[in-house]
Amino acid sequence: MKMQEYQAKELLAKYGVPVPKGQVCETPEQVAEATQALGGKAVVKAQVLAGGRGKAGGVKVAKSVEEARDFAASILGNELYFEQAKSNLRIERVLVEEMLPIAKEYYIGITTDRSTQRNVFIVSSQGGMDIEEVAHSHPEAIGRLPVDPFLGVRDFAIRQVAAAGGIPDAEIKQLAPFLKNLYTAYVENDASLAEINPLVVTGDGVFIAGDAKISIDDNALYRHPELAVYGETSEETDEYEKDARRRGINNYVHLDGNIGIIGNGAGLVMTTMDEVKRAGGEPADFLDIGGGAKAELVRNSLELVLSDPKVKGVMINIFGGITRGDEVARGIIEGTSALDIKVPIVVRLAGTSAEAGLEILKNSDLIPAETMQEAAQKIVQMVS
């Protein structure tokens, strides 16, 4: 789950990370009031989950209340084209912030590095630009620090990574608590990315998060119900994908076909989609329910898939590993029995106790299949 800038800054402020004074606004009138409260000057920034807001015309340094109001009126409720996202995004809200006396701009970030199986700090004196561009043109200006999860962020390691990133020695002492607080926020909220770019250094030598990006691991959201409100403001334009998030179904992508796809495991679901296409059908979605098929999850997933009026049939493809096939079959039957289903549902079971599961399905309205290819052919024929 990606957070918008104002949300990320709200979260970071709770952990002692300095952020600019500001207010999120949804109308030009609110923008005018917020700008007035900041002394008549402000930076007005469109809130979208995409980079390159300045290039897209989504950022304005307003030197008067009228200038801020007029800019907000020109973008709120309208769409801007973002080259990075390759699409138009509708602007629903803006962040109005104080103008900072910027002396320098740095970059700091934390993300997951699968090669070292650790979280890694990235520090660079080349802030205000994409870190990918810095890595390409000035690799010597980037410091990296894999963090030992047992030791955490140690002062000597901070000095090393800051120096490697080109941060002057005189500023490293001030940077240390900033990095520690950012790391605490990252770990305690199960983030997969926490990025501050630019990290502003004012003329007085104060560090402030000029911008902020935070992404939370979807699989850990159940541990953070307080963050659910941030998911409601996502720019997802697809109502079915928004509904999936509200239901706690994180691995769902809505497509344009008429055959609903449900499976356990991303690779299995993608292969199922390929088989449906090979049989002449069109998948209506990608839906991975994870390691099993509990009744409540099956019911929730089917409700989501069948809420699309284009769906004329559903294929459920489950591989029983640790979860036994007969238990999976009972979960599917229990989950579907609570729904008024008017389209055919073909179920393929494989793996542990698959034969017992198929026997159970034979006594239901569900249509069993022994192989994935057979299941795909059956559901395509039924909806044709």
Which positions are catalytic?
107, 195
* Owner of token pair 């999936």: 244
Residues 6+ positions from 9 with CB-CB distance below 8 Å: 19, 20, 22, 209, 212
Measured N-to-C along each axis, helices 239-246 and 295-306 cross at an angle, to the nearest 10 degrees, of 160
259 in Cβ contact with 311 (< 8 Å): yes
Measured N-to-C along each axis, helices 325-337 and 354-362 cross at an angle, to the nearest 10 degrees, of 30
Residue type, 181: N
Residue type, 108: I
Which DSSP helix (H) or strand (E) runs through 195? strand 191-202
Rounded CA gap, 279 and 168, in Å?
A: 63
End-to-end CA distance of the chain: 37
Rounded CA gap, 117 and 119, in Å?
A: 7
Q: Which of 383, 30, 47, 380 is nearest to 212 (CA)?
A: 47
Rounded CA gap, 305 and 297, in Å?
A: 12
Tokens of residue 99, six digits: 């103008």
Residues 6+ positions from 190 with CB-CB distance below 8 Å: 216, 217, 220, 221, 223, 224
DSSP 305-328: HHTSTT--EEEEEEEESSS-HHHH
